[in-house]
Structure 1
């Protein structure tokens, strides 16, 4: 690494830091990191666990498949990453969660971020992340497309690569970046929030319906949350579902109530 602080720094919260070697060890990104144009640090949530098994996930409240990542280890990892960035004078540090339910990442957003100090990027795993962590620490939720990956690492690699290559000095010919393209569930709806143990985290409880044991009410709550989030963040998906006849009368009544 070149002497001096990098102009851009990424702090990645991940269970699998080894997945980022394509970015750090290959091509123009590796060369730029060696030159000190950007830097990368990892924060593993398992480091912030307190049990012998270093547990980072648990079963979801309300039932359902898969496991949900615990809030506490993620929050501790993010807080330590933010403190490290602050020591370098980076006081404006967004916390970005790679998520299929997030805002669509595009070239305009890459250009916007290329003029910043970087960010903390959280890479989820399993079925989802406890919503209370998202509410408390995440400032942006970002998606790279309408598909689901096994975790956020590949998506984070794509976002970081798109941003880093726009930094001055990364490409041999900066005009190459200016000439780039885009320069300047089953029904296609976004997912509902997820919660796991503990039942009360820092004074915040999970929605009561998820503890009711009434699977019909739980399904209705999840459907309504899905409709609400999709209407807010991706209204185009609502229109697509409507055109395909995938919204019933109850769905339309709920959307009208919003």
Structure 2
């Protein structure tokens, strides 16, 4: 485990036991058995640590969703897998979820707000794709009401589980949510939201585009935090060079990404590149 990851995990443990506000950097470094100087080599401040924790867990969720979307199974099976993977993550990361819900990441800063808004937009698009694949033309513009309902169900059950700790049957919970979603999709006759209303939301919630700049930022992050083999170093350098060209070549980006995708530390980078190359493919 890297030092940065160790600090994050110990911090989550302490935040869950006490609170974010009352846990000091000294408490975290003592629990990790490191000096404050070592902490500041990884994080600029406690706020910076919180941003990294949110970033880490939201990426984890979105990468799980991406695996579901790419699975060659039926729409309803994907929907079921989507629900199950979310609650499995809750079970596996109970300390972080309960901490987040109890404290609402207070005091929250602008960076966290921005990240949560960006990740929320990606999750919305994921759910819309799942709805379309599951119900097709049956759903029409009701998909925006259904999206809102799915998010409401997930939040309500997450809140209940987080505040009522116990061993839950996630298979049964998943089946329950799929049934409720099917009822809403197939038997509701009225709708409130439509695409025009949905797309007119505040700009902070609009669909985000994966830009070259965002990928280059992630490339820099990987260069700073990980030791790499020669082929990985060369792939990262060539990706950086290609992305700095006016018109990055699709085949080059995909080929270089293939060298990285088996490594867990590059999961988010490969996700970003695949989303970006999908837009290049659509433009061609």
TM over 0.5, yes or no?
Answer: no
Query: Which one has more relative contact order, counting CA pairs under 8 Å at least 6 apart?
Result: 1
Question: When the two structures are superposed, what TM-score results if normalisation uses the length of structure 1?
Answer: 0.30
The structure with the largest strand share of the pair is 1
